[in-house]
Structure 1
Amino acid sequence: MDIRPKPRWFKSSYSGGSGTECVECLPVDGLLRVRDSKRGDGPVVTVRADAWRAFIRAL
């Protein structure tokens, strides 16, 4: 029996306000998982947390 808590995704504060460009993030052990909030069962992109921060700064 697995008693670990279910991962808690959060909506990125960088998502658009119109509700059409939303991503959810999940930090895990120095990595960041990113997915489309409208497709929770869809693909997940995993990047190093420092790479994600650099990407956001570049935007």
Structure 2
Amino acid sequence: MRAGTAWVKSSYSGTEGGNCVEVAAGCGVVHMRDSKDPRAGALALPAASWAAFVGYAARQTAR
């Protein structure tokens, strides 16, 4: 992961910290980290796996 990577946090997370993840898109990969402890490291997922996860989560909340 490059220095200066643009991390994005969900607009649903609010401003009080809470339990949220941040994501950053890379070349064919999505990095994910804990917003409360960004120095702890990041998990790298293939972009297709991230898309499948987001699709699944969206279908579950639409029920």
TM-score after normalising by structure 2: 0.70
Q: Could you state the TM-score of these two structures normalised by the residue count of structure 1? A: 0.73
Superposition RMSD in Å: 2.2
Q: Does the aligned pair in 1 maintain the 2:10–2:20 contact within 8 Å?
A: yes
| Residue type at the aligned position of 2:42 | V
More helix by share: 2
Shift of 1:6: 1.2
Instruction: State, as a whole percentage, how many aligned pairs show the same letter.
Output: 35
Matched, 1:29 2:46: no
- TM-superposed CA distance for 1:12, in Å, is 3.2
Q: Secondary structure at the match of 1:41?
A: helix
Specify the SS of the correspondent of 1:46: strand
5+ long unaligned stretches in structure 2: 58-63
